[in-house]
Amino acid sequence: MSRITIIDTDPGIDDAVAILLALVSPEFDVAGITTVAGNIGIDTVTRNAGRILALAGRGDIPVIPGAAAPLSRKGFDTADIHGSDGLGGVTFPEPVSEPLPGPAWTWIADMLDRHPKGTVDILALGPLTNIAMLVRERPESASRIGRLIAMGGAVHERGNVGPRAEFNIAADPEAADIVFRAGLPLVLVPLDVTRRVRATKADTAFLRESGTPAAKASADLVDAYFQSTGSGESRPLHDPCVMLFAMRPDLFELSPLRLSVDCGFGEDAGALGLSDDGPEVSVAMKVLGAEALALLAERLTRPPPPVPDAPASSRN
């Protein structure tokens, strides 16, 4: 069954693959893409969301800009990984429509209020700033979320921006702390599993050969990721793991963990800790990596689904 889905994202190479995966998967009725500064600034990630939708032939889906900066600190610059355009220099068409007026959290809250409680999911692929603003500004609306599945953090894995800190949490630790404490139906998808779902050059060649727009663009994006992050046999598909969990939770193993977030300013700002006083969060700690990758490849190489008659933004 298709679930109403909001993708909150900072595209971003792996965000783009994740969005393309959602758009070709019948489990998701993508109602809107909300953007957050993270991998690159808010104007670029918002334009990128529109470019990805244009490539997928889904210019009917609205893009709504969100937070331009973390709640209370300066953001990172990751142009060395995602390129100065955020999408590794891969060719995408221009957006077919202008973004809606923001801010994203108001749009998300209105969507949650318009639909029965528990029927709207949020897939969060970037820093949690927009979701923290939703919790702060519209807590009643936030309590209506069906599922909140967020890529972020590292539990037993080493970090990717600090010894134990992962980018999405480190980019806005205060936001993550607010979201973890909010009692939302949250599943966190950390590096502990996203580093187990990896694409090789053989995988990108297979995707490219299939010739579907989503598969070809994903192949180009992962190849760009290979170029920017140096040598190695394979690349982790961080953000697509959120979509894969939403589609097939049985491929993952969840652990209830009490987590704390390092909200300091040291080299491990944003690192997660296991703490008896912390809020309990459901964390995906294991994954059947080969099966998850096979599902991603199967979906991206399917012929694109027909575009629905009614624009997603007009549904209520």
Interface residue list for Ca ion (CB under 5 A): 10, 12, 15, 125-126, 239
Q: Is 34 in the site for ligand BDR (CB under 6 A)?
A: no
Is 51 one of the binding residues for ligand BDR (CB under 6 A)? no
From 54-62, 96-104, 159-167, 277-285, span contacting ligand BDR (CB under 6 A) = 159-167
Identify whether 82 is a catalytic site residue: no
Other Cβ atoms within 10 Å of 76 Cβ, number: 17
Q: Report the candidate in 232, 129, 111, 121 with the shortest Cα–Cα distance to residue 173.
A: 129
Q: Is residue 271 at the binding interface for ligand BDR, with CB under 6 A as the rule?
A: no
Question: What CA–CA distance (Å, rounded) separates 87 from 225?
Answer: 9
Taking each continuous run of H as one helix and of E as one strand, the counts in the chain are 13, 11
Residue of 82, 115, 156, 238 marked catalytic: 238
Total residues at interface with ligand BDR (CB under 6 A): 14
> Which does residue 220 touch among Ca ion, ligand BDR, none (CB within 5 to 8 A, set by kind)?
none
Q: Is residue 238 near ligand BDR by the rule CB under 6 A?
A: yes
H or E stretch covering 283:
strand 280-287
As measured in angstroms, the least distance from the Cβ of 252 to ligand BDR is 17
> Please, what is the minimum distance in Å from the beta carbon of residue 83 to ligand BDR?
12
Distance of CA 249 to the CA centre of its chain: 16
Pick the closer one to ligand BDR by CB: 15 or 223.
15
Distance CA 77, CA 80 (A): 8
Part in contact with ligand BDR (CB under 6 A); list of ranges 10-18, 107-115, 256-264, 296-304 = 10-18
Does 192 participate in binding ligand BDR (rule CB under 6 A)?
no
DSSP tag of 79? H
Spell out the SS3 assignment of 239-268: CHHHHHHHHCHHHEEEEEEEEEECCCCCCC
Q: Which of helix, strand or coil describes residue 151?
A: strand
Q: Which residues are catalytic?
A: 238
Residues that bind ligand BDR (CB under 6 A): 12, 14-15, 39, 78, 125-126, 151, 160, 166-168, 238-239
